[in-house]
Structures are given as C-alpha cells and as structure tokens.
C-alpha cells in the first residue's frame, strides 16, 4: 500500500490509535495532519516521530463546529489538498443510569454524541466538500467500536454514538460513491491505549483479555492497519463496510 503524494487528516492523532494511524500512513509516503484538542505536546511528539513530511499539527475541539471547519481548511491550505480523513477522535464517559444524577446523565450524552458523532459528521462534511471540489475523490475512514453492536451498559451514550457513526458511514457511502469518495469503518474492541489503560490494569483486565480466544486485546497498530487498508487503492468496492478488529471477542451475524 503506497500513499506517496496523498494527504491525510487524522483526528485524535496525537496518541493511541490515532498516533499509529498517522505513523502507518507516513511510513507509506503520505503527508499527515495530526489533530489534537488540548494536548499539543503529545501532537508534537507524534509528528516528531513520523517519517517523511513536512507533516502538520492542527487543533480543534470536535464539539465546536466552527473549529472543525477551521481544522479541515487549515489541513487543506497547508497540505495543498485532502485525500483521506480518518475520524478517530472520541471520548468514553461512564454514566450508569442508576448511579448518576440527571444532570450528569444529560452531560454525558451531550459530550459523547457531540464529540464522537456530531464532530465526526462535521469533519466528514467539510472534508467531503473539499474532495468534491478537488474532483479527484477521496476516502473517509471512521473509527467505531464493537460497543455499537454489543451495547455499552455503563456508557450507553458511547454505544449510541458509535452505532450512529456506523449508520452515518453507510449513508455517506451511498451518497458519496458517485463522487469517487469511499467510506469505511473500523470497529475495534478493547485496545492497548491510554484510554483503556486503567481498566486493563484493574482486576477487570484479565476478564477483558479472556473475552478473545487470543487471550489479549488489540494493539493500536492492528486497528491502524485496518484503517490504512480501507483507504488503499483497490478497496473501493468495500465502501460502506464495517471491519471488526476485536479478536473474535464479539461476533455478529
């Protein structure tokens, strides 16, 4: 898979899955815009490790529609064009119904849907408009979750946001295909990232690892590889597909 001459914007690209996505695209010749929200140092550290370049750092709060638009426009302005968007930015907030106040419940839904779904939708809109204007098509890859299928009882807003992302992706796949823009989804289970570190290190960690017959959770590079594959030449007819990367910990029909 060669991405020489291609440009990529990775939201949530400063760490975890996003950092590995940025690295794998850069290793294959792409110019990468690494997005961050509040941790610029992490974004700088990520860009410093990427081969090739010049790469770019962009900032936005994904809940800020104007900020998302500026992020995409900045990436296009500095990179010259935008070929691939990877919507990876996301949050996970525990909010079990019986244990949180009504105010906390509302806040969890507002923040989670605003970041994971609406923010991703706005980024896809802005990126796709540029791709259509450019006239050479492109790719949009959305990072979802197995939680969209199996449910997230302690964080229902998270599961709903990822289910919404799946539906949005398939709708966009049908709409954008005539414009030569193809949309794919990667749905991981637990991944060895900062977001999951505390629970994987807790007494629940062994049970989580045992959910897969491989006896472990995914590595960031395994999730990133699926995203890179969906963005590659030759994967066009997979538009609308959702690839599970969960080590057979959750199998759906």
Q: DSSP characters for 137-196?
A: -EEEEEE--THHHH--TT-HHHHHHHHHHHHHHHHHHHHHGGGTEEEEEEEE-SBSSHHH
Of these residues, 158, 175, 225, 250, which one is catalytic? 158
Q: Which two tokens stand for residue 158?
A: 């998270």
CA 238 to chain CA centroid, Å, is: 18
Helix (H) or strand (E) holding 87: strand 84-87
The phi-psi region of residue 234 (left if phi > 0; otherwise alpha if psi is between -120 and 50; otherwise beta) is left
Kindly report the CA angle at 80 between 77 and 82, in degrees rounded to 5?
A: 95
Q: Which residues contact 238 (CB under 8 A, 6 or more apart)?
A: 182, 184, 230
Of 153, 151, 247, residue with least CA distance to 191? 247
Place of tokens 């996003």: 18
Q: Which two tokens stand for residue 95?
A: 């909010």
Q: Is 158 labeled as catalytic in the residue annotation?
A: yes
Distance CA 229, CA 243 (A): 10
Q: Which two tokens stand for residue 78?
A: 């500095």
Active site residues: 158
């Amino acid at each position: 898979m060669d991405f020489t001459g291609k440009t990529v914007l990775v939201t949530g690209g400063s760490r975890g899955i996003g950092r590995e996505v940025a690295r794998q695209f850069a290793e294959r010749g792409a110019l990468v815009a690494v997005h961050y929200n509040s941790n610029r140092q992490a974004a700088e550290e990520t860009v410093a490790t990427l081969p090739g370049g010049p790469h770019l750092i962009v900032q936005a709060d994904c809940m800020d529609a104007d900020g998302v638009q500026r992020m995409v426009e900045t990436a296009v302005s500095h990179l010259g064009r935008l070929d691939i968007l990877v919507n990876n930015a996301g949050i996970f907030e525990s909010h079990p119904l019986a244990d949180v106040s009504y105010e906390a419940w509302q806040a969890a839904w507002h923040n989670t849907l605003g970041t994971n779904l609406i923010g991703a939708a706005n980024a896809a809109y802005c990126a796709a408009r540029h791709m259509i204007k450019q006239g050479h098509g492109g790719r949009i890859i959305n990072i979802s979750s197995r939680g969209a299928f199996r449910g997230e009882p302690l964080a229902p807003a998270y599961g709903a946001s990822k289910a919404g992302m799946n539906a949005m992706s398939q709708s966009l796949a049908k709409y954008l295909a005539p414009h030569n823009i193809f949309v794919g989804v990667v749905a991981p289970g637990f991944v060895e990232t900062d977001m999951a570190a505390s629970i994987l290190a807790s007494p629940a960690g062994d049970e989580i690892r045992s959910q897969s017959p491989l006896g472990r959770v995914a590595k960031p590079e395994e999730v990133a590889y699926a995203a890179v594959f969906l963005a590659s030449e030759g994967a066009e007819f997979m538009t609308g597909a959702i690839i599970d990367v969960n080590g057979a910990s959750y199998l759906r029909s």
